[in-house]
Chains A and B, each alone.
Chain A
Amino acid sequence: MSALVVVSPGPLSTLQDSGRWGHLRNGVTPAGAMDMIALAAANLLVGNPPGEAAIEFTLAGDTLELDAEGARVAIAGDVALTVAGVAASSWRSFALRRGERIQVGALRRGARGYLAVAGGFATPLELGSRSTHVRSGLGGGPLRAGDRLPIARDKAPAGADVAIDPAALPYLDGAIRVVLGPQDDRFTAEGIATFLSGEYALTAEADRMGYRLDGPEIEHRDGFNTISDTILTGSIQVPGTRKPIVLMADRQTTGGYPKIATTATASLPSLAQMKPGDRLRFAAVGVAEARALLARQVEAMRALPAALRPVLRDASTLTSEALLAANLIDGVVGPDA
């Protein structure tokens, strides 16, 4: 079967889609891409639906080799890469031929990047999703050398490679927006004020399960033991250390520390791009404002296809073959006319 073969994996690369939802009541962690904006961008570049499964790489990417007649792949993330041995820019798609390699280096900015393939990966759906959740084993495990990732198509789809300007992506700048609660009453007024005014830094313990933060201590009311209940992606809990932990995509479904706040969905992609040492502040918003921020973000994502540009004069494509293949007459590369 057609596949992308893992020649050498990055530090932590997993297949992720929009998540394994609908099974919270059975203890199933949704997992899914940490940064849904970058996932959608990578998929858009190869013509996939926004939540299709892609490789999520952490800090640095993978070297992959194509075992198929052809394929179109795309990289979302500010990262150095080579395609068939030639240096290339990211935020664009590439047509690969059999035996060609794409080598994705270290991210220059952010913590996570995505590699999507036109038509998507053809790993089995488990409970409706291809997302990897390492702890439960659902969706497989981290990529390892020699893994063959089956792909749904054997040929690159017709059409030119396209690029996108990452400045068009609607990340929320500034403070991480949170909705206070659902257990903000387990904290003193001073504790909440500290949480909202302090600066926090991601410690080395920051992964897909959660980010342990360092910063000013947050005062509880009546201790820190609670009866275990729901944990969400973006829940911010404060254990006995009095320092917050932001739970991320691979969190467990239930847990027992008081949750001072819940990250607004629109801020999750910004959070996903933070790495140990990065600093952040929290800002409280109401539910209505959090929803408005999300609505604007979703609208901006829907408008993204208009921001796609055909790749014309990228140095890496200026081989004689590429020049011959390109339609240079009308100045813009159209579909295989």
Chain B
Amino acid sequence: MSGDFRIKAAGDSGLVVEFADRIDTAVSARVLELDRAVVAARIDGVLETLPTYRTLFVRFDPLAADATSLEDRLRAMAAAASGEARPGRLWRIPVAYGGAHGEDLEHVAHEKGMTAAEVVRLHSGATYHVYMIGFVPGYAYLGGLDPRLHISRRTNPRLRTPAGMVAIGGQQAAVQSIAAPSGWHMLGRTPVRLFDMRRATPFLIQPGERVAFEPIDAARFERLDALAERGETILEPEE
């Protein structure tokens, strides 16, 4: 695969390498491969990169970098990005489903003509691909939701949803990192803080990694939540 991408200017300080206009893991793999290559190349004047579903954004110092030669270099690197899948680390995220932790679980079950237990089984039975981190610090956009759980977003978004909210919307799933507004359906909540400035690693999950959900009961949620509240690390990834 090569050539089927384009590079566009994003103002005077950024370039966007844009692959196919769709959400799929093969496109994401190319974005992530290019991201690794650009980071590893330590190109003069390049300040940071941001991988998203189908684009890689490259921010550079407009007075230090030569935008034309940078674009040429990115073109060559993007053409070389074959999209070889490289499964990232796996995060098994504990989730207390339903009740006060997942106010929309029953609604989703009703909407889909299944029981709450079936929704939980489908949601926790999949392994998700982390496409990007965005919206707020540490917020993970996940793909791989079982098609039987695809559901349009809430007509009325909530102005505030809690950190740790595990939610679905459209064809996507997400884990909320900090309290924020959301139009997605709340299935449950994890005690894991995806973003916590007190930890040595403030951000847990990176684009390209994998996420799975493991149901836990309310008592276990409380125990883990108390530890996380003190800033302790309660989840380590599997390679």
Q: Which residues of A contact B (CB under 8 A)?
A: 21-29, 126-127, 135-138, 179, 181-183, 227-230, 232, 234-235, 252-254, 259, 262-265, 287-288, 290-291, 294-295, 298
Quick one: closest A residue to B71, CB to CB? A287
Q: Which residues of B contact A (CB under 8 A)?
A: 8-14, 16, 18, 21-23, 47-55, 57, 59, 62-63, 67, 132-139, 141, 177-178, 180, 195, 197, 202-203, 206-207
Residue numbers in B under 8 Å from A22 (CB-CB)? 47-48
Quick one: closest B residue to A227, CB to CB? B53
Distance between B204 CB and nearest chain A CB, rounded to angstroms: 10
The docked-state distance in angstroms from the alpha carbon of A183 to that of B10 is 9
Quick one: closest A residue to B9, CB to CB? A287
Quick one: closest B residue to A261, CB to CB? B11
The docked-state distance in angstroms from the alpha carbon of A25 to that of B206 is 8
Distance between B205 CB and nearest chain A CB, rounded to angstroms: 9
User: Binding site of B, secondary structure by majority: helix, strand, loop or mixed?
Assistant: loop
Quick one: closest B residue to A184, CB to CB? B8
Distance between A185 CB and nearest chain B CB, rounded to angstroms: 9
User: Cβ of A137 and Cβ of B178 under 8 Å apart?
Assistant: yes
Residue numbers in B under 8 Å from A25 (CB-CB)? 48-51, 133, 206-207
The docked-state distance in angstroms from the alpha carbon of A64 to that of B47 is 37
30 residue pairs A–B, Cβ–Cβ below 8 Å:
A24-B57, A25-B206, A27-B133, A27-B138, A29-B136, A29-B137, A127-B202, A138-B137, A179-B9, A181-B8, A182-B18, A227-B23, A227-B53, A228-B132, A229-B54, A230-B14, A230-B50, A232-B11, A232-B13, A232-B14, A234-B11, A235-B10, A252-B135, A252-B136, A253-B134, A253-B135, A290-B62, A291-B62, A291-B67, A294-B63
State which of B12, B49, B134 has its C-beta within 8 Å of the C-beta of A265: B12
The docked-state distance in angstroms from the alpha carbon of A287 to that of B60 is 13
The docked-state distance in angstroms from the alpha carbon of A307 to that of B187 is 61
Give the one of B13, B47, B202 with max A CB within 10 A.
Answer: B13
The docked-state distance in angstroms from the alpha carbon of A119 to that of B237 is 43
Residue numbers in B under 8 Å from A182 (CB-CB)? 8-10, 16, 18
User: Cβ of B9 and Cβ of A228 under 8 Å apart?
Assistant: no
Residue numbers in B under 8 Å from A230 (CB-CB)? 10, 14, 16, 50, 52, 55, 57
Query: Nearest 7 A-B pairs (CB), nearest first?
Result: A254-B134, A262-B11, A290-B12, A182-B8, A230-B57, A229-B52, A24-B50
Distance between A179 CB and nearest chain B CB, rounded to angstroms: 5
State which of A137, A254, A287 has its C-beta within 8 Å of the C-beta of B132: A254
Residue numbers in A under 8 Å from B180 (CB-CB)? 135
The docked-state distance in angstroms from the alpha carbon of A259 to that of B16 is 12
Distance between A64 CB and nearest chain B CB, rounded to angstroms: 27
